[in-house]
Structure 1
Amino acid sequence: MTGNIYRGQAGLPFSSALRIYEPLEAFPAPQQESLRAAGAGQKSRAAVENAELLASLGRITRHDGDPFPTGRTDLVRVIPAPAKQSSAGAKPYPAESAESAPGAAAAPADRLLYCPSQLVLRAGLAANALMEGIHGPLAQLLIPEEQRDKHQERIDEVRAHEGVSRVHTRASTWGIPFSWFCLFKESDPTDVVESEGRIVTVRIRASIAQALERVSYAVAHLAMAAPDLDMLEDLTQLTEWLELFHPDSAVELDYGAVADKVYPDDSPLDVRLGIECLAEGDMTGAAAAYRRLASRWVPIRQMARAS
């Protein structure tokens, strides 16, 4: 199954995701039963990833020209809740292989956390951003107004059923925003998923409390040392997003296929060291940290413009 995922991504843009997993009680009552059923019926994480990839490829080849998801089979990712922090430090998550079922890795008493894909809402947001960007005129040709109006009806239906939903997933193509690395440390629980001699993805997780503490630290130091840095605005928006979710949630950074190009990856450490150096007025140290980041990620971003 995992090999199919990797081969299916060949030729596609590298896509990474930042996801929030919440406990069941954080969701509206009408949605809880469907989430519970989806989690119970999920065979493996690899099956979810493969189904999402196949569905996305199917949408762009529809004969009616509608590229939007219908929402009839929204996918759900499930993980066991992290152990509570103790004086000895946080216990790692149970090990997760590409083929393991999400419930199988957890003891029966463990709680589960859920991350719905929310493809209808996310597709609508992505289309709006595309229309408002520099490629707006081209996007209007590729996505006819009739299809956009039809999808807006789907969005209205989802919101009527589930209320105003928090968007649980942020996606990035051709590289990971440096601001995302502020949420994690190299000691956080990490799953490296491999297949046929390649790294399919790397997933690193932290509790939302840890993530908020780390991003607040970064914002405070950058606000004093480098208030004009674009990254400060990114971190402020990231903080506002994290604060929307249940305090018992977990945050996951899923590298996607780009992991095979960059892992082992010291980016969380380099971002943290860069911010600490800026706060201490050590411009040489900050520049060295940035050079390490740039040498790792600039070649990835340049691939977006390669023919």
Structure 2
Amino acid sequence: MTGNLYRGQAGLPFSSTLRVYEPLDAFPQEQRKAIQAAGARTASRAAVENAELLASLGRITRPGGDPFPTGRTDLVRVTAAPAAQPGGTADGGPESEPDLLYCPSQLVLRAGLAANALMEGIHGPLAELLIPEEQRDRHQERIDLVKARDGSTRVHTRASTWGIPFSWFSLFMESDHKDVVEAAGRIVTVRVWASITDALERARYAVANLALAAPDLDMLDDLAQLTEWLEQFHVESMIELDYGSVADKVYPDDSPTDIRLGIECLAEGDMTGAAAAYRRLASRWIPIRQLARAS
């Protein structure tokens, strides 16, 4: 299954994701059964990734040209929350089974946000050619239905193509848990995990220091938006950085360390150290981003 995933991504843009997994009781009562059932239907994480990839490719070739997801089914990723007290309970008993955490794909909402972002700088005939107004209006009706049904519009997933935003790395440290997924001699992806409390603490530290040392840095705005986003979720959530197939080009990756060192250097007034950290990041990620314009 994992090998199929890698081959299926050949020739597609590198896509990386930042996902928040929440405990079941963080979701509205009326959604919990559907989320739990959707998570239970999936045999493995690789099965979810393959199903999502195949569905996206199917939408591109769908008769009628409508590229938007219909929302009839929504995939849900599931992970186990770390046990609250490794090694045993407070009374010395055996360690309990960890609770499950859920991340719904929310493809209808995310497709709408992506389409809006694409349309912001495109108008006239080109906009109509890319996504005809009739299709956009039809998808807005789906979005309205989802919002009316679910109430909450928190989006659990952020995506990036052709590289990972530097701000994302500030949420993680080199000591965080990693899953390296390999197949046929290649790295399919690397997934890095952190608790949302740790991620928020790191983001706030970065925002505070950059606001003082480099208030004009674009990364400061990105971090402020990330912080506001994370604050929407349950305190027992986990956050996952999924490198996607770009991991095969950059892993082992010291970007979280370089971001942390760069911010520390800025806070201490060490411009030489900050510049060195940025050069390491740039040498690693600028070639990846340039692939977006390669023919």
TM-score in terms of structure 2 length: 0.95
- Superimposed CA distance per residue, residues 142-194 of structure 1 (whole angstroms, 9 cap, x where no aligned partner): 21111111111111111111103200000000000000000000110100000
Cα drift, residue 23 of structure 1: 0.5
* Distance (whole Å) between structure 1 residues aligned to residue 294 and residue 96 of structure 2: 49
Cα drift, residue 140 of structure 1: 2.5
* Distance (whole Å) between structure 2 residues aligned to residue 278 and residue 248 of structure 1: 31
1:63–1:252 Cα change, 3 Å: same
Tell me if structure 2 keeps the 8 A contact 1:188–1:206.
yes
Structure 1: which 4+ aligned runs deviate by more than 6 Å?
A: none
* Distance (whole Å) between structure 2 residues aligned to residue 217 and residue 28 of structure 1: 31
Tell me if structure 1 keeps the 8 A contact 2:38–2:74.
no
* Distance (whole Å) between structure 2 residues aligned to residue 135 and residue 125 of structure 1: 17
TM-score in terms of structure 1 length: 0.91
* Distance (whole Å) between structure 2 residues aligned to residue 152 and residue 65 of structure 1: 16
CA RMSD of aligned residues (A): 1.4
2:204 to 216, 220, 231: 216
Which residue matches 1:247? 235
Cα drift, residue 108 of structure 1: 7.2
1:136–1:206 Cα change, 3 Å: farther
Which residue matches 1:73? 73
* Distance (whole Å) between structure 2 residues aligned to residue 85 and residue 218 of structure 1: 29
Cα drift, residue 228 of structure 1: 0.7
Cα drift, residue 84 of structure 1: 3.5
Which residue matches 1:111? 99
- Determine helix, strand or coil for the equivalent of 2:22: strand
* Distance (whole Å) between structure 2 residues aligned to residue 59 and residue 136 of structure 1: 24
- Superimposed CA distance per residue, residues 14-46 of structure 1 (whole angstroms, 9 cap, x where no aligned partner): 000000000001111121001111122210000
Tell me if structure 2 keeps the 8 A contact 1:192–1:199.
yes
Kindly tell me the number of residue pairs found equivalent between the two proteins: 287
Which residue matches 1:272? 260
Tell me if structure 2 keeps the 8 A contact 1:130–1:136.
no
Which residue matches 1:20? 20
Matched, 1:185 2:186: no
Q: For 2:221, give the aligned amino acid.
A: E
1:129 to 111, 117, 125: 117
Tell me if structure 2 keeps the 8 A contact 1:30–1:161.
no
* Distance (whole Å) between structure 1 residues aligned to residue 85 and residue 243 of structure 2: 25
1:140 to 116, 124, 128: 128
- Determine helix, strand or coil for the equivalent of 1:290: helix
Which residue matches 1:62? 62
1:76-91 equivalent positions in 2, closer than 5 A: 76-84=76-84
Which residue matches 1:196? 184
1:164–1:136 Cα change, 3 Å: farther
Which runs of 5 or more residues in structure 2 are unaligned? 87-94
* Distance (whole Å) between structure 2 residues aligned to residue 80 and residue 48 of structure 1: 16
Q: For 2:192, give the aligned amino acid.
A: I
* Distance (whole Å) between structure 2 residues aligned to residue 20 and residue 108 of structure 1: 23
Tell me if structure 2 keeps the 8 A contact 1:16–1:176.
yes
Q: For 1:196, give the aligned amino acid.
A: A
Tell me if structure 1 keeps the 8 A contact 2:172–2:199.
yes
